[in-house]
Structure 1
Amino acid sequence: MWNKTLQTIMVSTIMAVGVSLSACDSTKDSDATAQEVSTDASKQNVADTPKPESAATNADLDGATPQEGTPVKYDVASWGTQKVQALNVDQLDSIKSTFGKVVSTDENSLDYASNPAAKYRFMNTDAPYLDLIDSEKYLELGWYFANPTDSDKEKELSQNHAKKSYTLARQLMGDEGGKLVADMLNGQIIKNKVVGGQKVELAKCEFYSCMLIINKSAAQTDNK
């Protein structure tokens, strides 16, 4: 009787333990599945969340806004091709009169090749410059070349300086001289070229400056 009862109790206990273990395994599987689903959902949410653009993406590193400005226009065609008084490179007084009134003179200046020279300024020191430099070997025309971001007044003076230089170039080199200045204003650089009988050592406009340098010692003799 005891043995039979004990046997019955043991069988019942084993069955109960089996059911309990099965329930635990089922719970673990459910928890693991739920955790996987939660992890996948979190990953998806992170992937779908838009990333804010870096503040530096659409801004300069220093925070400054670049200025574009309006390029200066030189209406060379309107400056005319009417006849002008022809001048020689040694007619300094007549050359200066084309540029206007001399504001200051520096007798201890230097020319293109660092030779002693005289510089004649036709503008005050705080204004866009217009200069003549004269030495034994060179005659140099120099004027301010306005930048797109300059003021309207600075641009206007730059245009006026260019027009005077255009006129003087025509007086010294004929229509070829006028074309030379037009080419300079369009960004061309001319070196060691005979133009209208004058030897042009260098002619260019860049970095706020235009310069036209005539080699007087080779003028009207170099036929290259």
Structure 2
Amino acid sequence: MWNNSLQTLMVSTIMAVGVSLSACDSNKESATAAEDASAEKSEQAVAETTKEENTTAHADLDGATAQQGTPVKYDVASWGTGKVKTLNVDELSEIKSAFGKVVSTDENSLDYASNPASKYRFKKADAPYLDLIDSEKYLELGWYFANPTDSDNEKKLSKNHAKKSYQLARQLMGDEGGKLVADMLNGQIVKNKVIGGQKVELAKCEFYSCMLVINKSAAQTADK
């Protein structure tokens, strides 16, 4: 009787343990399946987000391309190649007259090399600038270099400034001076070069600005 009861108890215990282990395995498999499903959903969400970001990026790029505007064209050939009155770099009054009427003067400005200088402005502060900076050593021509996205009026003023600078450069350096300004408008940068008898320290147009810097102390007027 005891043996039968003991045997029955052992069988029952083994079956209970088996059922328990089976339940654990089932729960573990369910948890693993849930984790896999969650991971798959996360990967899908990341993929969809990345796709949306890429689509937005392409849209932004397309938009930026569409808003680049119309490049500014300078009709240098129509600005004249005839004979002009020759000017020396120290004839400041005549040089200022070539740019027009002085709107404001700053006697406490600085030149290209941070030396004391006078700045003459030929446009109001809210308009694309046209400046002359004169010091003991340098004469600088500076004007606004229009961007393709600028307004038509800004582009027009920029062209007018470039034309005046072209004509003044011809007066200071002959035809070589006119060619220099044309090259500047086409993106060329000139440094430390004698042009038309004048030592050009720097000539360039970039980042909304054109500047032509002449070293007056190194002028070679005999070569003009």
Scaled by the length of structure 2, the TM-score of the pair is 0.73
Aligned length: 173
- How far residue 139 of structure 1 moved from its aligned partner, in angstroms, is 0.1
Partner deviation per Cα, 1:32-64 (whole Å, 9 max, x = no partner): xxxxxxxxxxxxxxxxxxx89923323338958
- Determine the C-alpha separation between the residues in 2 that align with 1:57 and 1:75: 42
Counterpart-to-counterpart distance in 1, 2:184 and 2:176: 12
Tell me which amino acid in the other structure corresponds to 2:57: D
Q: What corresponds to 1:102 in structure 2? A: 102
Deviation at 1:221, TM superposition (A): 6.5
What is the CA-CA distance between 1:188 and the residue it aligns to? 0.3
Consecutive unaligned residues in structure 2, runs of 5 or more: 1-47
Q: Unaligned stretches of 5+ in structure 1?
A: 1-50
CA RMSD of aligned residues (A): 2.1
Query: Which structure: greater helix fraction?
Result: 2
State the Cα distance separating 1:202 from its structure 2 match.
Answer: 0.2
C-alpha distance in 2 between matches for 1:84 and 1:197: 16
Partners of 1:197 and 1:172 lie apart in 2 by 9
Identical columns (%): 79
Greater gyration radius: 1
Name the structure 1 match of 2:121. Answer: 121
Q: 1:56 aligns with which of 53, 56, 71?
A: 53
The aligned counterpart of 1:72 is 72
Give the distance between the partners of 1:164 and 1:143, measured in 2 at CA.
10
Q: Distance in 1 between matches of 2:81 and 2:169?
A: 12
Distance between the aligned counterparts of 2:57 and 2:155, measured in 1?
Answer: 28
Distance in 2 between residues matched to 1:175 and 1:76, nearest whole Å: 12
Letter in 1 for 2:178: G
- CA separation in 2, counterparts of 1:53 and 1:212? 49
